[in-house]
């Protein structure tokens, strides 16, 4: 946990974002914080493997090494605990995404990184994301929910990337950023799910990811798979005419 390669994509556990992480400190405060971390880590694991409904407070307590009741001094209830887990997840996801993007130069490598980073994280902790609908349903004013804000902050990394890419001329077109966002994250989320279902071997999954990311990035950077030059499109049209004419011959 101490010497983390700065460039890695995965979201190692534990939220040591704040405080100077004095590993030796043993004050009351620090122990409380450690415990909170342990509970969140346990929650992440249990929720990820069992899903919100099947996960029980008892499981989480046991895994965190505390009594059932202790959970309630840290989180008001199961719902709040799950939200805590998600908040921690988003915090790490956003931080590593930002960092990775800042470390690259070109729009293409940045986009490529962000795509891989997202789909990889999703695949590793799919269960976390799947709790979102359960927690937010029956919430008419979702825009006031903290989770909405966390997600917004996260996707802002993408939005900024697109705007910068446009400003520098790397990304053609002027489609609504929201549309590109839907396509980008939607494809990655769906791709993560289907790859996990389809391929059991890790190597196969990696290939799935590469294929999808390459195509997706190409579509966004290239303004469409076949850049849509007039000549290209005319050629496609000519092909169709020829095929149609063939029918006439028969």
Closest approach of Cβ 136 to its own copies, in Å? 9
Q: Decide whether 73 or 226 has the Cβ nearer to DNA.
A: 73
Residues of span 164-203 touching DNA by CB under 7 A: none
Buried b (16+ CB within 10 A) or exposed e, 191-214: bbeebeeeeeeeeebeebbeebbe
Please tell me whether residue 230 binds its own copies under the rule CB under 8 A.
Answer: yes
Q: Which stretch binds its own copies (CB under 8 A): 29-37, 45-53, 71-79, 86-94?
A: 45-53
36 Cβ contact partners less than 8 Å away, ≥ 6 residues apart: 74
Please tell me whether residue 224 binds its own copies under the rule CB under 8 A.
Answer: yes
Interaction partner, residue 68 (DNA, its own copies, none; CB < 5-8 Å by kind): DNA
**Token couple for 226:** 């076949």
Please tell me whether residue 144 binds its own copies under the rule CB under 8 A.
Answer: no
Closest approach of Cβ 82 to DNA, in Å? 10
CA distance linking residue 246 with residue 163, whole number of Å: 47
CA distance linking residue 167 with residue 13, whole number of Å: 36
Query: Looking at residue 142, what DSSP letter applies?
Result: G
Tell me if residue 150 falls in helix, strand or coil: helix
Q: Which stretch binds its own copies (CB under 8 A): 61-69, 73-81, 87-95, 189-197?
A: 189-197
Query: Looking at residue 124, what DSSP letter applies?
Result: H
Please tell me whether residue 53 binds its own copies under the rule CB under 8 A.
Answer: yes
Please tell me whether residue 32 binds DNA under the rule CB under 7 A.
Answer: yes
Q: Decide whether 63 or 170 has the Cβ nearer to its own copies.
A: 170
DSSP for 198-212, written as a single string: H--SHHHHHHHHHHH
Residues of span 50-109 touching DNA by CB under 7 A: 54-58, 66-70, 72-74, 77-79
Interaction partner, residue 187 (its own copies, DNA, none; CB < 5-8 Å by kind): its own copies
End-to-end CA distance of the chain: 72
Instruction: List contacts with DNA (CB under 7 A).
Output: 26-28, 31-32, 35, 54-58, 66-70, 72-74, 77-79
């Amino acid at each position: 946990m101490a010497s983390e390669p700065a460039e890695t994509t995965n979201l190692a556990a534990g939220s040591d974002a704040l405080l100077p992480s004095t590993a030796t400190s043993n004050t009351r405060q620090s122990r409380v914080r450690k415990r909170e971390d342990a509970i969140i880590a346990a929650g992440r694991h249990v929720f990820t493997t069992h899903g919100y409904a099947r996960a029980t407070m008892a499981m989480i307590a046991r895994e965190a090494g505390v009594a059932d009741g202790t959970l309630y001094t840290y989180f008001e209830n199961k719902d709040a605990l799950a939200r805590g887990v998600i908040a921690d997840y988003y915090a790490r996801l956003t931080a590593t995404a930002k960092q990775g993007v800042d470390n690259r130069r070109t729009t293409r490598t940045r986009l490529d990184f962000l795509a891989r980073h997202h789909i990889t994280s999703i695949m590793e902790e799919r269960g976390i994301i799947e709790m979102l609908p359960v927690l937010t349903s029956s919430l008419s004013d979702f825009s006031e929910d903290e989770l909405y804000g966390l997600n917004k902050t996260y996707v802002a990394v993408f939005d900024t990337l697109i705007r910068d890419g446009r400003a520098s001329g790397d990304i053609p077109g002027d489609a609504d950023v929201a549309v590109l966002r839907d396509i980008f994250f939607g494809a990655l989320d769906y791709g993560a799910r289907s790859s996990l279902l389809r391929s059991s071997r890790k190597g196969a999954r990696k290939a799935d990811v590469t294929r999808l990311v390459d195509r997706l990035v190409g579509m966004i950077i290239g303004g469409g798979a076949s850049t849509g030059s007039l000549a290209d499109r005319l050629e496609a049209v000519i092909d169709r005419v020829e095929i149609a004419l063939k029918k006439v011959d028969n």
